[in-house]
């Protein structure tokens, strides 16, 4: 069997406009309108969003509430460039830089929060 890949996961947001700005400006997402809501696309991976006037079906047994997600994104440059990028957007680094192990092996990460309080991570594999 060919290797499977993650197609999408779901997050819950409390305000579309604020979340759309953050995910587009800070994380570089392509905004995809879906019905009354949005999805955030990163190349071949997508975050589907539940939020105001949008609830998916079927739903997880314990749906994630706004602020309840923990996501890691590969940062394509040095971790110092990631820190500078976050600073430019007024996003505070909560933890890091710290050594972590991700899908490509050992890397360096910084942690920060989205507008709802979900934990976000940039990991850089640049050495």
Instruction: Give residue for tokens 């594999």.
Output: 125
Q: How many CB atoms lie within 10 A of CB 14?
A: 14
SS3 of residue 36 by DSSP:
coil
Q: How far is CA 4 from CA 43, 86, 96, 112, in A?
A: 16, 32, 31, 29
Taking only Cα atoms into account, the Rg of the chain, rounded to an integer number of angstroms, comes to 15
Question: Going by CATH, does the domain composed of 8-124 fall within 3.10.180.10?
Answer: yes
15 catalytically annotated: no
Q: Which residues of 50-67 are buried (b: 16+ CB within 10 A; e: fewer)?
A: bbeebeeeeeeeeebebb
Beta strands in 1-127 (DSSP E): 8-12, 30-34, 37-42, 45-50, 70-75, 95-102, 105-113, 119-124
Write down the catalytic residue from 2, 17, 99, 121: 121
Output the tens digit of pLDDT for each of the chain's 127 residues.
788 778 889 999 999 999 999 999 999 999 999 988 999 999 989 999 998 888 777 777 777 889 999 999 999 999 999 999 999 999 999 999 999 999 999 999 999 999 999 999 999 998 7
């Amino acid at each position: 069997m060919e290797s499977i890949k993650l197609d999408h996961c779901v997050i819950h947001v409390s305000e579309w406009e604020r979340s759309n700005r953050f995910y587009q400006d800070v994380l570089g997402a392509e905004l995809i309108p879906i019905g009354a809501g949005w999805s955030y696309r990163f190349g071949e991976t997508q975050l589907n969003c539940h939020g105001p006037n949008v609830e998916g079906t079927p739903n997880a047994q314990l749906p994630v509430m706004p602020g309840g997600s923990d996501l890691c994104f590969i940062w394509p440059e040095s971790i110092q460039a990631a820190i500078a990028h976050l600073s430019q957007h007024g996003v505070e680094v909560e933890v890091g830089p710290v050594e972590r192990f991700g899908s490509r092996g050992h890397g360096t990460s910084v942690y920060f929060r989205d507008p709802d309080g979900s934990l976000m991570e940039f990991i850089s594999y640049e050495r």
